[in-house]
Amino acid sequence: MPHYVAPLRDMQFVLHELLEVESALKELPKHSDLDVDTMNQVLEEGGKFAANVIFPLNHSGDREGCKLDVNTHTVQAPAGFHEAYKQYVEAGWPALSCDPEFGGQGLPIVLNNSFYEMLNSANQAWTMYPGLSHGAYECLHAHGTAEQKALYLPKLVAGTWTGTMCLTEPHCGTDLGLLKTKAAPQADGSYQLTGSKIFISAGEHDLSENIIHLVLARLPDAPPGTKGISLFIVPKFIPDSQGKIGARNPIFCGAIEHKMGIHGNATCQMNLDAAQGWLIGEPNRGLNAMFVMMNAARLGVGMQSLGLTEVAYQNALIYAKDRTQGRSLTGVKAEDKTADPIIVHPDVRRMLLTARAYAEGGRAFTSYVALLIDRELNHPDEEVRKEAADEVSLLTPIVKAFITDNGWIATSEAMQVYGGHGYIAEWGMEQYVRDARINMIYEGTNTIQSLDLLGRKILMDNGEKLRHFGEKIRHFVEAHGSSEDMSEFVTPLADLGDKVTKLTMEIGMKAFQNRDEVGAAAVPYLRVVGHLVYAYLFARMAKIALEKQDSGDKFYVAKLATARFYFARLLPETAMLIRQARSGSANVMALDAELF
């Protein structure tokens, strides 16, 4: 049967040794009194909730799925989901990083981030219900009126109400400029929304007493394209000014999508039939407001694949140590058995180390970004806030695309460790592969993230954000480049940094002549930059491990071995990717469409 234990030791290493979070938070008045012991206690309790409450529901929730009553338009989540959510709410977990003004606990994003990794490892489908709610909270917190915040935020923070984002329509996915949902102004200041949305995760369910939909729609006089999109609050039940729910709003689930994975989450087709809604922010500026939720979702999707990578690795490791098959190529290792455990075989170890490295690299990366978000939101120095915001903007598409690509690789490798048993449902591994596949698609496909990184985040500002990140790498290389022990990490890091600079300039020059050059290079380019980020973080982790490898704590020995594997086996992928990115657009655009 599947197994999960929260990786607390590695989380503590990342937070306290790599990022020195306690010291970093001293610069933020809001979090200056948070200490290591408190953070560790929160993580320990979060790990217990993830492992003991929602992890046991993961396999059964996938088998059962969600059920729609077509007569009442209500959706029943899998057995146990409602009870688990009740425990989640009663323990105060929804409020963890929310504003105390609205009932939140006011803890930093970087701590909430680690908690969500554990939730995603335990049960991604279940975690999407509170995860989307937190995104709705962030959007309303940033763009809602004082009245909207007072009415909706305390309920979202408490977890008694949940949230969704309603963007996609049958005829438009990424190209939101094509959306057709209409919003008609009413005399009382509200709007009537009419249209259809698809692929709405957690669009209807029985976990909470109300669902707050954030819906993109067009006003009657809206300009065409993305400049004519507005954002609205459309609650399932219309609340009065005191937050007491009243009449059912005509926003109904018409169908549940039949999916490859995440069966425990209700992915709904939502129909709005003159549903009452209220404008968030300015007219025709809805996409700007929704980007708060979309960017939070992109970071959250990266966390989903990180969670799956970790739990798949844990289970594959247990299996590899227990399953006997064949003998070691260097001689018998288990003399008391008729065969050796498969972990003795080099390629099994390669698969396990691939998943392990991508889990540890992803954990360091997402925690690094989460701490940047805390700086962006709370640092007293405006310049520091701006620098952090720019770096978060640069790294967000990499979090989403690189980690989800790696999650697909890692879960597939972990399933392969099982051999034929990995393909059988009872072991649980095939679910992780199915669940991981959607993460590369939704919240902007990984190609869209790649175009965003190269086209918008790098070329549009002439590489300024990338240069600032490169300065951090340069300072690290200069500080440790003369260390013989660090050369195996610093030398390839410096080399890749130089190659990324040259590759960026080359693509930029080509793009002046032909914009298709950006589209042809974007996907391999993002993976190259993703590896640059991981190489920087693994080099920093290796430095710590080198200093402590003789401490008697085998954790540092293992960390150093994982870093060496990453640099030797995974980083070399960049050589191929750079050649792909440099090959230009002609090889993909030359063939006429009718000849395909």
Q: What is the pLDDT of residues 1-14, one digit of tens each?
A: 789 999 999 999 99
pLDDT in tens, 220-250: 999 999 899 999 999 999 999 899 999 999 9
Residues 38-76 pLDDT 10s: 999 999 999 999 999 999 999 999 999 999 999 999 999
Closest by CA to 97, choosing from 28, 50, 144, 148, is 28
User: Who has greater pLDDT, 525 or 294?
Assistant: 525
Query: Which SS3 state, helix, strand or coil, does residue 472 take?
Result: helix
Mean pLDDT of 276-288: 93
CA distances from 10 to 3, 356, 489 (A): 18, 11, 20
Average pLDDT for the chain: 96
What does the pLDDT read at residue 288?
A: 84
Q: Residue 295: pLDDT above 90?
A: no
CB neighbours (10 Å) of residue 227? 11
Q: What is the CA radius of gyration of the chain?
A: 24
**What three-state secondary structure class fits 269?**
strand
Q: Please tell me the least confidently modeled range out of 102-116, 164-178, 196-210.
A: 164-178
DSSP state, residue 167: -
Q: Which two tokens stand for residue 128?
A: 């999407």
Q: Is 554 helix (H, G, I), strand (E, B) or coil?
A: helix
pLDDT score of 287: 85
Average pLDDT over residues 420-430: 95
pLDDT score of 294 more than 80:
no
Residue 120 to residue 411: CA distance in whole angstroms: 14
Q: How many helices (H) and strands (E) does the chain have?
A: 18, 11
Alpha helices, DSSP H, located in 50-108: 58-64, 81-90
pLDDT band at 176 (very low <50, low <70, confident <90, very high): confident
Mean pLDDT in residue range 186-199? 97
Distance CA(364)–CA(359), nearest Å, equals: 9
**Percent of the chain whose pLDDT exceeds 90:** 95
Q: Are 61 and 47 in contact (CB under 8 A)?
A: no
* Beta-carbon-side half-sphere exposure of residue 152 (alpha carbons within 13 Å): 32
String of DSSP letters for 190-237: -EEEEEEEEEEET-S-SSSSEEEEEEEEB-TTPPSGGGG-EEEEEESE
Looking at the predicted structure, is the pLDDT value of residue 126 above 80?
yes
Question: Going by C-beta distance under 8 Å and a sequence separation of 6 or more, which residues neighbour residue 360?
Answer: 10, 541, 559, 562
Q: Per-residue pLDDT for 173 more than 90?
A: no
- What's the burial of 204, exposed, middle or buried (CB within 10 Å: 0-12/13-18/19+)? buried
| pLDDT higher than threshold 90 for residue 292 | no
**Catalytic residue (choose from 310, 376, 443, 517):** 443
Model confidence pTM above 0.95: yes
pLDDT over threshold 80, residue 452 = yes
Q: Is 443 a catalytic residue?
A: yes
* CB-based contact 503:509 (threshold 8 Å): no
Structure tokens at 339: 């065969």
- Contact yes or no for 235/212 (Cβ under 8 A): yes
Residues 433-445, mean pLDDT to the nearest whole number: 96
